[in-house]
Amino acid sequence: MGNGQLLTTAAEEQPSEQDAENVVLKLESVAKRYGTEEVIPDLSLSVCDGEILTLLGPSGCGKTTTLRLIAGLEKPNDGRIRLRDDDVAGNGRFVPPEERGVGVVFQEFALFPHLTARENVAFGLQEWADEEREIRVDELLELVGLEDQGDSYPEELSGGQQQRIALARSLAPEPEMLLLDEPFSNLDVDLRVEMREEVRRIIKEAGVTAVSVTHDQEEALSISDRVAVMNEGDIEQIDTPQQVFQQPESRFVAGFLGHASFLSGEVHGDSVDTALGRVLRDDVNGLAHQYDGTNLDLLVRPDDVTAFPANGEEANGSVVYRRYLGPTVLYRVELDSGETIECMHNHSDRIDLDERVAVRVTADHELAWFPAGQRDGTTPVAAD
């Protein structure tokens, strides 16, 4: 993101010094190859105590492989993985999955069909004393809100209930860390939203550190404390959900996290001149004075701009696409400048195809920007 600030690369970004002593998981220059195929070239990552971190990216970007490396289901070819102060992979050491103190929730839930919900939760507690095991199972069934379903078999439970039992089973042995692999992919769309909130509540109340994997942007933004956006085995950006969405550091991140249009402009004094008029410099994130007189591309999302039916000189584009989404309508406008902008309107607004419109920037936050024509996903650095 062209924000005029000196930034480290995403692969090097670590928690603050204050949080460093609370790091539970640390990956240092981890690489994974399958034959000649390099899935993860050089990955570094830290996760702090009690944090929910989501690895987000398209299929084949390396996020599931990263999760399997953390769990011990795969061995890294290079680098090391540490849990708390212990090396669990690398430097000639490899700790098997069952000895890492890591719980895993798979997308299939993988409940034992011949065991009741209570028996499934207690499965990993066979070495516990009977009374302690019963107390722990009761605590977890209450935590996931299924204390009255303990005697039910998986086939008698809904998809959401099965997921909560799978989560309780993974939490039962009090793991150091919880890993979730596409945990909502097998649920109906409406249930996914409900379960995101429920799973986040359960994880936070349990006080466990969690790493989740998903390709669903909305899921990652809603459940996470931080999001690591992955592309071709690398982390392009890692930050809070708000920051990666509103201030992406690469065009890939901008486009993967939602609809993204790029509006060209030229910096002049206290403003940026664009096809939609002047955008004040104060409304552009970190636009340093070193960029005066240069060309750039502003990132505008559909809710950052508004189209108004107009005629004559006020109009600056025509509607070329319209998609009804229920509560909202997505419009695509071809500007007279030749650029294309997407706008999101309330469903009650009505603009017809081919109608002439005036598009205005109406964002209530600072816009991100990129150097004009930048396509390689790198982060520009301001001059000293």
What range defines the domain where residue 362 resides? 259-371
Determine the Cα–Cα distance for residues 268 and 195; give it in Å rounded to an integer.
49
| Mean pLDDT computed over 232-245 | 96
Q: Is residue 204 located within the same domain as residue 340? A: no
CATH classification of the domain holding 65: 3.40.50.300
Taking all residues of the chain, what is their mean pLDDT, rounded to a whole number? Answer: 90
pLDDT digits (tens, 9 = 90+) for 83-96: 998 999 998 999 99
CA proximity to 343, closest of 260, 272, 221, 277: 260
Q: Single out the residue in 210, 236, 255 at which a domain terminates.
A: 255
**273: helix, coil or strand?**
strand
Residue 75 lies in a domain: yes
Lowest mean pLDDT among 116-125, 221-230, 366-375: 366-375
H/E element, 1: none
Lowest mean pLDDT across 210-214, 358-362, 372-376: 372-376
Same domain membership, residue 345 and residue 294: yes
pLDDT at 193: 87
pLDDT(304) > 60 = yes
Of 236, 258, 262, give the one whose Cα is nearest residue 374. Answer: 262
Whether the pLDDT of residue 15 is over 90: the answer is no
Q: Are residues 346 and 201 in the same domain?
A: no
pLDDT of 312: 85
Q: Quick count: other Cβ atoms within 10 Å of Cβ 301?
A: 20
Residue 229 sits in the same domain as residue 84: yes
In this predicted structure, the answer to whether residue 164 has a pLDDT above a threshold of 50 is yes
Say what the pLDDT of residue 47 is. Answer: 97
Element (H, E) at 161: helix 159-171
In a domain, 157, yes or no: no
For range 174-187, the mean pLDDT: 90
* 246 inside domain: yes
* 307: confidence class by pLDDT, cuts 50, 70, 90: very high
375 vs 369: CA distance, rounded Å? 13
- Is 169 inside any structural domain? no
Q: Are residues 277 and 233 in the same domain?
A: no
pLDDT of residue 3: 47
* Position 118 in a domain: no
Domain count, the chain: 2
Domain boundary among 227, 255, 283: 255
Query: How large is the average pLDDT for residues 299-320?
Result: 94
At residue 6, the pLDDT reads: 30
**Whether residue 341 sits in one domain with residue 213:** no
Q: Is residue 348 part of a domain?
A: yes
Averaged pLDDT, 356-367: 96
Residues 247 and 275 in one domain: no
* φ/ψ of residue 287, rounded to 5: -80, 95
Cβ neighbours of residue 91 closer than 8 Å, sequence gap 6 or more: 80
Single out the residue in 255, 272, 292 at which a domain terminates: 255
pLDDT value, residue 380: 40
CATH code: domain of residue 349: 2.40.50.140
Tell me whether residue 162 is in a domain: no
Write the CB contacts of 364 (distance below 8 Å, at least 6 apart in sequence). Answer: none
β-strand pairing of 177-181 with 209-214? parallel
